[in-house]
Amino acid sequence: MTGSYPRVVVTGLGAVTPVGNNIPDMWQALLEGKSGAGKISTFDPSRFTTHIAAEVKGFDPKDFIPVKESRRMERFTQLAVTAAQEAFKDSGIDMNKENPFEAGVLIGSGIGSLSIVEETHSIYLEKGPEKFTPFMIPLLIINMAAGWVSILLGLKGPNLAVVTACATGTHAIGEAYRMIQHNQAKIMVAGGTESCITPLGIGGFCALKALSRRNDDPKAASRPFDKERDGFVMGEGAGVVVLEELEHARARGAKIYAEVAGYALNGDAFHMTAPRPDGEGAAHCMNLALKDARMKPEDIQYINAHGTSTELNDKIETLAIKTVFKDQAKKVQVNSTKSMMGHTLGAAGGIEFAVCCLSLKEQVLHPTINLTHPDPECDLDYVPHAARKTKIEACASNSLGFGGHNTTIVLKKFKG
């Protein structure tokens, strides 16, 4: 990088999650170490090996979206629109005072809608194709979350969706950051969304043997870095933020949560679902992000880990952190948001980016819960059990997706 790129800051946060349907409620629950996992309520899971998930609770889209528009959105889109509206309101941006062609959207999803596929296939078998809804395709496609946010907020700039499995949310925010750096926009609404706690979603991940089977104790099922971890808990939700070119934010007197300092992405080129055993890809990605931020490993005090609670991910991500931070590794504080809200797949990176912004602003880290049996191969400081007041100048967030997609984004405290 050169010094010629505009600086990019975070001016708005929004989220709908299994532990809170807005940013204040989510943040308070995370600090208190509350789990959002429980028995699946939307269908009978008894035929599956996993009966638990981390569902969004008490969410009525009609509270946030006009009824006509809401009916033309699948749940993953409703969650994204709700989080985006919260983030945009939080930013204080008034589109009546903005050039709409300088404000864009980049929101992705790992899977999009499975429920409309299930519903339409049932209609096909029972009544035939003439009974299909004409809205099936617009309901299904992943880019419609970004499309609806653009429509409802009046954003006519870059409009894009990315799909990189569990790395989607971080990629979306990172690519939106790049768009502002390259003067394609002054404002970007960016993040990820997911809602696939359905028979197909649960069944597919059960077949992969990726999900925890701790059905008798769901709140203890997501246990990143713990020796007794047995898979992830599927979650749902959305995390959306507003990124803004610094001088634009200053000119309108915006509050600033944090500054985006660096971003990188690469691929493992190894396996469909498993990370490289040596952690090379994740380590290289973290190094690239630090280089982009013009930082050294010792400049980072905190990492929001991908931390899924799967056997391979947790130990290999730990190994990658050790590779990058070397003697400093055990001084870096690491936590897993997924310990409380499960793995929200394409939404995870967006939610965890918002968590990093709040941690920088409040100078506090939420705990990694359920870490009761430390794994000898996972021997870093994972902020176990209780929130921690601390001093953070800069942090990184990792996301690692099926297909070997790795991405890291670096944030720092904003200093005028």
Would you please indicate which residues are annotated as catalytic (active-site) residues?
166, 306, 343
> Which H or E run includes 321?
helix 311-325
> Which H or E run includes 124?
helix 115-126
Residue type, 378: C
Torsion 369-373-374-377 (CA) sign: negative
Look at residue 194 and give its three-state secondary structure. strand
- Determine contact, residues 350/13, Cβ cutoff 8 Å: no
Residue 157 carries which DSSP code?
S
> Beta strands of 154-274 (E only): which ranges?
159-160, 187-194, 237-245, 258-267
- Determine contact, residues 16/29, Cβ cutoff 8 Å: no
- Determine contact, residues 410/290, Cβ cutoff 8 Å: yes
φ and ψ at residue 187, rounded to 5 degrees: -135, 135
